Amino acid sequence: MIDNAKRMVASLTSLGIALLGLGIVASLLSPTGRIPWLGDIAGNIVGLINSLGSQGIVGLVALGVILYLFRD
């Protein structure tokens, strides 16, 4: 039962990452950089990276946690 839950969470995470990649490509191909139903995905990611970078060691630890959660 736990294994099924783990597989379901892994599948949903993979789907979310694939949709995120699709959204980034779509926003980069859009002339305005914004897609009405998606918003400014690329700008939000750049803002997240900038905020993690400005936090010093705390940002580095947060980045490590994020990468650990999304490892395959």
Domains in the chain: boundaries: 2-69
43 or 18: which leads in pLDDT = 18
Q: What is the pLDDT of residues 3-29, one digit of tens each?
A: 888 899 889 988 988 888 888 888 778
Residue 42: which pLDDT band, with cuts at 50, 70 and 90?
confident
Q: Are 33 and 27 in contact (CB under 8 A)?
A: yes
Statement: residue 55 has pLDDT above 80: no
Closest CA to 42 of 55, 26, 54: 26
33 or 32: which leads in pLDDT = 32
What is the rounded distance in angstroms from the CA atom of residue 4 to the CA atom of residue 21?
A: 26
The pLDDT value given to residue 33: 66
Q: Are 23 and 41 in contact (CB under 8 A)?
A: yes
